[in-house]
Amino acid sequence: MSTPPHDIVFLTSEIYPFSKSGGLADVMGILPLTLSRLGVRVAVFTPFYGRLSTGQYPVHLVYENCPVGYPWFDSTADIYMANYHGLPVYFIERGEYFDRRHYYCTHKGDYFDNCERFIFFCRAALCAIRHMGLGTRIVHAQDWHAALAVAYLAFWRRTDPFWAGMRTVMSIHNLAYQGRFSYRLFEQSGLPHEAWNMEGVEFYNSFNLLKAGVAFADRITTVSPSYAREIMTPEFGCGLEGILTRRKADLIGILNGADYAIWSPQHDPVLECTYSADQPEGKKECKAALLQSLNMRPELADRPVLGFIGRFRGQKGIDVILESIPEIMALDVGFIALGEGKAEYEAAMMNIMEEYPGRVVGVIGYTEEISHLIQAGTDIFLMPSRYEPCGLTQMYSLSYGTPPVATAVGGLRDTIIPYPQEGANGFVFNEPTRESLVQAVRQAVAVWDDKAAWKTLQINAMRANFSWEKSARRYMQVYAGLHADLFAQEGGAL
């Protein structure tokens, strides 16, 4: 396990396998680890939630009563640590903020003190870097929860020699979530008043945490090249397209990868039968087992079964799928959805399930195991996202030989080669509408009926390789652009 200095420190609100509500956790569970395997001295800071799954990675106290400073004069945080395959993961513990049932919200809405919670998280992580002598040179913040760290550093390094050499990277995983709060909370944040302006943290009179990160970071990254372009437009910029365009020279799109140690049918321990591009036969058994376990009609073994895994939110286009079900079911197929989210979509899913007994199953909730079983046991993966910064589930579905049918946005555009192009591994359509989705599903089902064509598509899908190593090296270039000497001793690891 690497000991300080930790040149690069990630700040994240989620990290798999300790905490997870979506793709950010998956990325944090593998990107820092890949960097550390490439010789980068890296560590991660994350909140110590009540629901932390520490499992096989024991967590122990490493620093007690770390002072967090203004505006919490008397406030301290306890810092715990786990060794995750050699990667130090530090947990910020403060029961009143993080020891709760959920990470960010309950079914009634966001926690009322989210701003305070994540101000605390950012300040505590930075104070820990200082008090624990971690020797950090770059702070790499993920999404709005960590963005304030970037803004603090921009000001602290002007006046405090300790921070003078610190550089910052802000990664955007989803621009739709910005963390917007009131001016009163800006005053409590401890940022100087000069930060309150249109080129700083102010956004239509609100305190915008992600904007703070975008405004003050030395570099801004997002999780696919297409999304990097899209967020500079009004359609996808969520109001930040102006400042992002002004920062274009520092905005970089780096495609996420897939963690094939976890998401590969060749060695997936939960599957009925493992399989691979060279020996794909086992997929049929996975499908049969899935149909049986969900009490679905056995005849579906000979018809395409469509899958959806994701948050039941507008972003993912689950409503578009629900609207399209009558036309999709007319194609004599099955459909399995896994996820949770907006109550109205969950209810609609349940109604549809009753209308098509044995042919449509909605599993409301989420477990990793069911997610793997659906990736392996379905034939076609639906992803009609309205926007998609990167998207990991389509990379996983490709790996499991379940070609995606997806909108041509963001990372979906960057990862799917659409039929009938040479090397096709899936299907894309332009508008997230019922008509477009149904048309694309019809096309996919028609190709499925042509066994030879489908096999080629499936093999192409399984052979796609979204390597984290390649992406991690791109991040190393970004870091090296901020501190040229960082990887000098690695003898040109870049």
What is the binding site for ligand GLC (CB under 6 A)?
A: 22-24, 27, 173-174, 223, 256, 388-392, 411
* Closest of 11, 114, 131 to residue 68, by C-alpha: 131
- Closer Cβ to ligand ADP, 304 or 310, answer by number: 310
26 binding ligand ADP? (CB under 6 A): yes
Q: How far apart are CA 122 and CA 168, in angstroms?
A: 13
Please list, residue by residue across 355-367, b when 16 or more beta carbons sit within 10 angstroms of its beta carbon and e when fewer do.
Answer: eeeebbbbbbebe
Binding site partner of 379, from ligand GLC, ligand ADP, none, Cβ cut-off 5-8 A by kind:
none
DSSP output for 269-313: TTSSS---SSSTTHHHHHHHHHHHHTT--GGGGGS-EEEEES-BS
- Which pair of tokens denotes residue 308? 């959806």
- Closer Cβ to ligand ADP, 91 or 387, answer by number: 387
- Closer Cβ to ligand ADP, 140 or 386, answer by number: 386
426 binding ligand ADP? (CB under 6 A): no
The 350-389 contact track toward ligand ADP, x by CB under 6 A, reads ----------------x----x------------------
Q: How far apart are CA 17 and CA 34, in angstroms?
A: 15
Among 29, 47, 200, 339, binds ligand ADP (CB under 6 A): 339
Backbone dihedral angles phi then psi of residue 315, each to the nearest 5 degrees:
-50, -40
29 binding ligand ADP? (CB under 6 A): no
Q: How far apart are CA 163 and CA 378, in angstroms?
A: 52
399 binding ligand ADP? (CB under 6 A): no
Least distance to ligand ADP from the beta carbon of 417, Å? Answer: 18
- Which pair of tokens denotes residue 77? 């945080």
Q: Which residues share a beta bridge with 36?
A: none
Binding footprint of ligand ADP, residue count (CB under 6 A): 16
Least distance to ligand ADP from the beta carbon of 78, Å? Answer: 27
**Which helix (H) or strand (E) covers residue 332, if one does?**
none
47 binding ligand ADP? (CB under 6 A): no
Q: Where are the beta strands (DSSP E) in 13-54?
A: 42-47
Among 2, 4, 21, 364, binds ligand ADP (CB under 6 A): 21
- Closer Cβ to ligand ADP, 22 or 69, answer by number: 22
Binding site partner of 310, from ligand ADP, ligand GLC, none, Cβ cut-off 5-8 A by kind:
ligand ADP
The 224-243 contact track toward ligand ADP, x by CB under 6 A, reads --------------------
**Which helix (H) or strand (E) covers residue 183, if one does?**
helix 183-189
392 binding ligand ADP? (CB under 6 A): yes
Least distance to ligand GLC from the beta carbon of 89, Å? Answer: 18
17 binding ligand ADP? (CB under 6 A): no
264 binding ligand ADP? (CB under 6 A): no
Least distance to ligand ADP from the beta carbon of 21, Å? Answer: 5
310 binding ligand ADP? (CB under 6 A): yes
391 binding ligand ADP? (CB under 6 A): yes
Round to the nearest angstrom and report the end-to-end CA distance of the chain.
22
Q: How far apart are CA 103 and CA 111, in angstroms?
A: 9
- Closer Cβ to ligand GLC, 160 or 469, answer by number: 469
- Closer Cβ to ligand GLC, 22 or 39, answer by number: 22
Q: Where are the beta strands (DSSP E) in 289-440?
A: 305-309, 334-339, 360-364, 380-383, 404-407, 427-429
Contacts of 89 (CB under 8 A, 6+ apart): 15, 18, 43, 44, 46, 57, 81, 82, 83
Q: How far apart are CA 160 and CA 194, in angstroms?
A: 17
Report strand pairing: 206-208 vs 305-309. Answer: unpaired
Binding site partner of 21, from ligand ADP, ligand GLC, none, Cβ cut-off 5-8 A by kind:
ligand ADP
Binding site partner of 223, from ligand ADP, ligand GLC, none, Cβ cut-off 5-8 A by kind:
ligand GLC
| Interacting residues toward ligand ADP by CB under 6 A | 20-23, 26, 309-311, 339-340, 366, 371, 390-393
